[in-house]
Each structure stands twice: as C-alpha cells, then as structure tokens.
Structure 1
Amino acid sequence: MSTTLSNDSLAQDFVAFAVQSQVLRFGEFKTKAGRLSPYFFNAGLFDDGAKLGRLAEFYARRLIASGLQFDMLFGPAYKGITLAAAVSIELARLGHNKPFAYNRKEAKDHGEGGTLVGAPVQGRVLIIDDVISAGTSVRESIELIKAAGATPCGVTIALDRQEKATANGQDAAESAVQQVEQHYGLPVVAIATLRDLLQYLGAQSDPALSAFHPAVEAYRQRYGV
C-alpha cells in the first residue's frame, strides 16, 4: 500500500535535502534493534525555521500527490507535534487547510484537562511522524483517535527504512511499516525510502558520498524487506 515509488524526483530532492541538512548521516550507528547501521536519520535536526519549512513542504507535496483523503492531522508527542503544526501550515498555504491535534505524554488535570490538545479529533485522521521504528507510537495514536470517536485513515512519515522489524530480539518477516499496513489496514505514505536513498548514493559524483553505497546496499541485503 506504500505510495512512494522509485525514480521519484520528490524523494531524490528530499534525500539530498536531508543529507545537506546533516539530518541524514553516514558512518556506523547502533539502532534501537541493536543493529549496526551505515546511516542514521534524525528528524530532530530539522531544527530551524528554514529547514522545518522545507520539510513541511515535502510532506505536503507527497500527501497531495498521494491522493489520500483525510480531514485532519494528528501528531504523536513529541516529534509529531511540531510536524503536525508545520505541515498544516504548508497544506493551508497550498489551498488544503486542515485542522490538527496532538497528545500530551501526561494527562493535564486543570484547564481543559485530558491528553489531547488542538482541534477536536473527528472524521478521518491522518497520523504524522518522522519514522516508524517499532509501531508503538502509531498504535498509541490509533487508540487515542478511536477513543475520541474518530477514524484513523493513514500514516505519513519522512523516511521508510524498509528493514525487518524485530520482536523479542528476533527479526520479523515484515518491516514496521508493513506491519502497520497489514495489522491496521492503514496506508503509509513516506516521502522517501531506503530504496530512494540507495538510488541517491548510486548516482553521486561526490566520492565522499558514493563510498557509502556498498555499505548501505549490504545492510539492505541483510535486513531489508
């Protein structure tokens, strides 16, 4: 159900932007699953107005191109809060004004109270996050959205790592993204994927970047789906 295709200029532009912003780095990094990855994507480093605005533009363009129908955005705490706000601004600029909401980690017992903040959670709700690692954030978001009487209709992320999920230290047959798609029946719209990253590295004339292609390809061969 993933709507990101290879040979995708939007994805290639996004990967280049992430590398230039040093959000996407190469070397040796230990993942949550304990794997040694040759690349690391940290969306928390989209940390100024210009970079966040450009990131929001990529999300908005991908969502509009996907044709996915949704009534509002929901950003899981914490990274999803900034993403939901920024992308709603960009969508409105492009003529698609959508409300957004997000959750608190701890319930508030004064003022408006509760764990949900922002617009009323209703209709078809699109969850926005940076990546899907274990699916925990998505699962919790789905529970909050359903408890509010609304309908989760999809998930949008910046990067799909396209690698096997882990459970109890064992590799699963599917990726975390595929598990979300299969277990919840929700489409996942990614700006770019590991396949797009490999395409970007393979097309590089800069030897400092192209040198990482073999390591990323080997990682994909070992852990990819």
Structure 2
Amino acid sequence: MTSSLGVDTPDHRGRTGLHLAGRDLDRNPDVRIRDVELTSQGWHVLRRTTFDYRRRDGRWETHQRETYDRGNGAVVLPYDTERSRVLLTRQFRYPAYVNGHPDGMLIEAAAGLLDAQDPHTAIRRESAEELGIRLGPLTHVLDAYMSPGSVTERLYFFAAPYTPADRTGTGGGLEEEGEDIEVLELPFAEALAMARDGRITDGKTILLLQWAALSGPFARKSSV
C-alpha cells in the first residue's frame, strides 16, 4: 500500500490523519457524514466532504462542501486609555491584493493561529512577536466564525491594556516565517475614523474598534 503524506505518513508539519476530520460528527441529527476527501495539504488543509442533509420539509439531499482548515486563531486590540491610543499593525496581504485592494497593505489588529496553545497564551505570544509589547490583563470580547461558508477557523477576540513601559522589543514578526510587520500606534479616534472611511478594511479589526467605541474602554470617550 502506498503511503500518503498527512494521512498515514507525517507531512512537513508532522501531521497525520488529516483525512479523518469530521468523519465522526453526529451532533446534528439532520446531517450524516458520508465521506471526507483530503484534496490538498500545504501549510493549511483543503477537504471535500460529502454529507446527507435533511431539509426542513423532511427530504434528504446529498451535498458536497469544500472546507479550508487553517486552525483556530486569536486577535487582540491593545489600548492605552491614558493616552487614548491603540496598537495596530500594517503588513502585506496577498489575498487582499489579488482581490482588488490597491496595494495589499492592510492595517490590522495583531492576530495569529493558536498552534496547539490556548487562546490566551497564543495571543500573548503574537503580541510579543508582532508588537513587541507585554499585554496587561486580557478581556475576552467574543468568539466568531469569520467566513463560515468555507473556512473552519474560529477566532477568539481579546482586548488588553498596555503602557509605554510594557515595551519588550521592536516587534515586526518573525523573519523566518516571512513576516515584515509595521507597528502602528494610533489615536483611537483616528483608528475608528479609518474603519469608517475605508482605510481599515480588515473585518476583525473593524469589529474590535467598534466594540471599543460602543462598550469597551473608549465608550465614554467616543462620540458614538
């Protein structure tokens, strides 16, 4: 029998059994998984799943869906209420560039994949790598599926205070992972205006800025 990477032989990330994800799902009595096909495994995993679905009128139909599995992630908005500042990043995002963004340089809240860590640990790691800061106490804002039609990722949203004394480095990300991240410290009012006028187009960042204005640390200082 021929071995397959990611199936019975570890792939470049040490993973096996990638074809098994979802086969044993039984939480929804109106969904019956029939087959899971591993179609691609690069850094992330693409699967084609065949399943039976019972419609609201009782009829069963067979469907196929492709899912893109990049793991779960976490995102954080660091804020300084004394100086009315927030920390964001700017980096090149090819998917946005190829889909019409003028230069692909997106302003975002710091984020990253969990990589087998819990969300709190992962976002502190990402903040140190990308922003060069040590976060204060984390506030869990919400969890969300950002593109549930095809992407499996569940994103954990946080906010945390910081001060100039919390700097631990220059940030910028990890060069060995191809990261080249600019750290932006912006007045909160300016960041919120950028989300409203289209200079910030990243969904997770817009959500956190709106939360901060409506019910978060800047609620009383915002004109919203």
TM-score tier by shorter-chain length is: under 0.3
Rg comparison, structure with higher value:
2
Larger fraction in strand: 2
